[in-house]
Amino acid sequence: MSAVIEIEGLRKTFHSLRNGRRVAVDGFDLLVEEGQIHGFLGPNGSGKTTTLRALLGLVRADSGRMSVLGEPSPELLPRVAGRVGAIVESPQFFGNFTGYRTLRLLARAGGVPVSRVDEALELVGLRDRGDERVKGYSLGMKQRLAVASALLKDPRLLILDEPANGLDPAGIREMRDLMRSLAASGVTVLVSSHILGEIQLICDHVTIISRGRRVAAGRVDEVLAGHDRHEFLVRVAEPERAVELLHAAELTAVVDSDALVVNGVTDSTVISRVLGEQGLWVGELTPLRPDLESVFLELTGAGEDPSVPRQVDHAAPLPGAEGDPIDLDVRGVDA
Amino acid sequence: MNLVRAELERLSARRFVQLMVVLLVLAFGVTAATTLAGSHKPSADELASARAQATEARRGMEMAFQECLARQNGTLPPREPESYYPRDCSEIDPVRSERLPITADYLPGVFSFAEQARPLLYFLIAFLVLFGFLVGASYIGADLNSGGVVNLLLWRPRRLTVLGAKLGALLGSVLALSVLASLFYLATFWVIGQTAGLAGRLSGDFWRSLGAVHGRGMVLVLLASALGFAIATLGRHTSAALGAVAAYAVVWELGARLVLEIVDARRPDQLMLSSHIGAWLTGETRFWDSQLCADSRPGVYCESFYSLTWGPALLVLLVITGGLTAAAFVVFRRRDLI
């Protein structure tokens, strides 16, 4: 498969008189191949939006190499811009324009046939509301309009930053179906989102960013497998005795509420055999597979101590990072 | 071309632009209505009387000049009380006078197009300058602030092209509106002069002079629009342009002028942008300089005035506007758009 987006060693530092120097992206790598629905995850202020902005030529990278659809970005981005649909954060539209007029203006500016406007409105479910003014739209409708603006070009690559913002459950589902159908038609999708369940449902690949660096990347199932502790939930009549028996068999087990959690086991039949041989019959034996949320929280350290309010950019130290080289005093800005 | 067309549509759809156009129409309507209400077609008697008064006034000026010359030559018989005459009689020479009394001066309540066209045009140009500056600043300022420019750059990732299209659309629209508005404005007052007042002496010189003011006014409107656009681009906000102008007016035009006068600096007016705007618009502006005649011999007439003419004034205005516009393009090309 050919690479649709390639980022190598992207670094971006922001300077301001008030806040000084802030490294937003620090040697970040990203590879998105053709046909993927690629999830892009990271806590607030981790550098997701800065990465997307740099890729789309909206901020100047300090260093690194980027390409979009095979063309170096941002130098030759105009060559492929007609095939890249993107929304970065929530775009603002003129409130006194109708949805249709908003898209028509963009179509004109981008040299896209105006006939595409109706198709895009139809795709995002705004066909019957296209002649209403944008200022009357709900947040979810504005988000749909933003997605419609990205779809106007009939893109080969779709970059969506938080597309589910403001959408109701039905809207989220429609957005998921839309992304799937686009991917099925050959469109590569890069989607950043905080709704990890959604990413796990729709994405086949994922890249996780924390403190401006990539902390995980690959197929979703491979990333999850990499964090599988081979744990099983076991329900038996005598949990304490079961723990003793499993320890005697050199297995690690702890009582968790009214059940046991056994880890480090690749073959679950070992558990039932050890307990069954001693007359303890297993009532439930459930593998505890990691989900994207647990992997995300583990990698980014975002859920370390629930009793302490987490500050923006409070993330786990990066593997291999010496000390704390990154000043992440973002103060609420999603960089 | 598509980009410019799209920008033209965006510009014309802006509420602020529409509001300013409504204000322009209102100002125009009020001025025309009050002029019409306060003017009447002069009767033959009124005209005859005014003509006689104007002739008499011109004759009085000529007599005073001749008496001044006669006194200088010692041929004026002594009179009681003796009239005042300047040392240099050329000061009251009617030929050198900027303006001689005319019939319209003696027709109260009668609108004279030939007399009023120029001040009316100045008023319109002042409004259009304000219009261009505010629209130029808000057009890009609001777009930068709301993310509209980012949205557009996702479609056309060529920053200079996008900013250039915006500036082109702005200047083209402002110029078209200004030309149409000013021509309609002058035509309306010409009709009022013809039907409910006095047309006055509309010679070729008059139209050439009015045309020159009009042309210079249109250039000034374009410069103001570009200036508002450039400052708002540099400051990322509409308010940056408004703040910059307010700060300039208070700090430089008022504060620095006061300081320059206190330290008795030479020709402080030529350091003020307002002087150059005036010189450009009127063709030439004269300023008083106390030190200009400091070295002149006693008894020799010396004019303590110096002039700013339209040529150097235009150069100053072009350098400032061009410099700020170029800076805006350079900064916009390199800026992080967050």
pLDDT digit string, tens, across residues B75-91: 766 665 566 777 778 77
State the average pLDDT over residues A265-275.
Answer: 85
Mean of pLDDT over chain B: 89
Q: Which of A73-82, A92-101, B92-101 has the highest mean pLDDT?
A: A73-82
Inspect the interface and report whether the beta carbons of B15 and A96 lie closer than 8 Å: yes
A9-24 tens-digit pLDDT:
999 999 888 878 999 9
B7 has a pLDDT exceeding 60? yes
Distances (CA, A) of A300 to A204, A211, A295, A316: 20, 8, 8, 5
Classify residue A325 by burial, with Cβ atoms within 10 Å: 0-12, 13-18, 19+.
Answer: exposed
Return the axis-axis angle of helices B204-235 and B273-282, rounded to nearest 10°: 150
pLDDT of residue A328: 33
Smallest CA–CA distance, residue B331 to chain A, in Å, is 12
Q: What is the pLDDT at residue A332?
A: 34
How large is the ipTM? 0.76
Top mean-pLDDT range of A302-316, B146-160, B178-192: B178-192
Considering only CB atoms, A96 lies closest to which of B13, B156, B337, namely: B13
Is pLDDT at B328 greater than 90 in this prediction? Answer: yes
Considering only CB atoms, B6 lies closest to which of A58, A94, A109, namely: A109
Stretch A313-333: mean pLDDT? 44
A16 Cβ under 8 Å from any chain B Cβ: no
pLDDT value, residue A331: 34
| Residue ranges per structural domain of chain B | 2-42+107-334, 48-106
List CB contacts of A75: < 8 A, sequence separation 6 or more: none
> A149 at the B interface (CB within 8 A)?
yes
pLDDT at B140 over 90: yes
B82: nearest Cα among B59, B64, B56: B64
- Chain A nearest CA to B297, separation (Å): 59
Contacts with A277 (C-beta within 8 Å, 6 or more apart), sequence order:
none
Most B CBs within 10 Å: which of A10, A106, A117, as the mutation test of the B interface?
A: A106
pLDDT score recorded for residue A250: 84
Using a CB-CB cut-off of 8 Å, the residues of chain A touching B138 are: none
Asked whether the CA dihedral B82, B84, B88, B91 is positive or negative, the reply is negative
Query: What pLDDT, on a 0 to 100 scale, did the predictor assign at position B191?
Result: 95
C-alpha span between A238 and A282 (Å, rounded):
10
Domain boundaries, chain A: 3-225, 229-288
Beta bridge partners of A63: A11
pLDDT of res. A335: 37
- With an 8 Å Cβ cutoff, are A108 and B6 in contact? yes
pLDDT of residue B73: 79
Closest by Cβ to A59, choosing from B10, B155, B337: B337
pLDDT at A314: 57
Compute the nearest-CA separation of B124 from chain A (Å).
29
* Tokens describing residue B242: 């408004």
The strand pair at A37-41 and A205-210 is best described as parallel
d(C-alpha B172, C-alpha B176), whole Å: 6
**Local structure of A160: helix, strand or coil:** strand
- The reply to whether A72 touches chain B by the CB within 8 Å rule is no
The answer on pLDDT for B16 being more than 50 is yes
Average pLDDT rounded to a whole number, residues A288-317: 68
Q: Quick one: average pLDDT of B169-192?
A: 95
Is the CB of residue B146 less than 8 Å from the CB of residue A135?
no
| Beta-strand relationship, A259-263 and A231-235 | antiparallel
The pLDDT of B227-251, averaged and rounded, is 96
Specify the fold of A3-225. Answer: Rossmann fold (3.40.50)
Q: What is the pLDDT of residue B293?
A: 75
For chain B, say whether A331 makes contact (Cβ under 8 Å).
no
pLDDT of residue A325: 35
Residues of A in contact with B3 (CB under 8 A): 108-109
* Mean pLDDT score, B157-174: 95
Confidence check: pLDDT of A322 > 80: no
Flag if A81 and B5 touch (Cβ within 8 Å). Answer: no
Residue of B149, B151, B160, B163 to mutate when probing chain A, most A C-beta within 10 A:
B151
Which residue, A240, A287, A246, A238, is CA-closest to A270? A246
Mean pLDDT value of segment A191-196? 84
Average confidence score pLDDT of chain A = 84
**Residue A324: predicted pLDDT:** 39
Domain A229-288: which CATH class? Answer: alpha beta
What confidence category does residue B275 fall into, taking pLDDT thresholds of 50, 70 and 90?
very high
Mean pLDDT computed over B194-219: 92
d(CA B120, CA B126) in angstroms, rounded, equals: 10
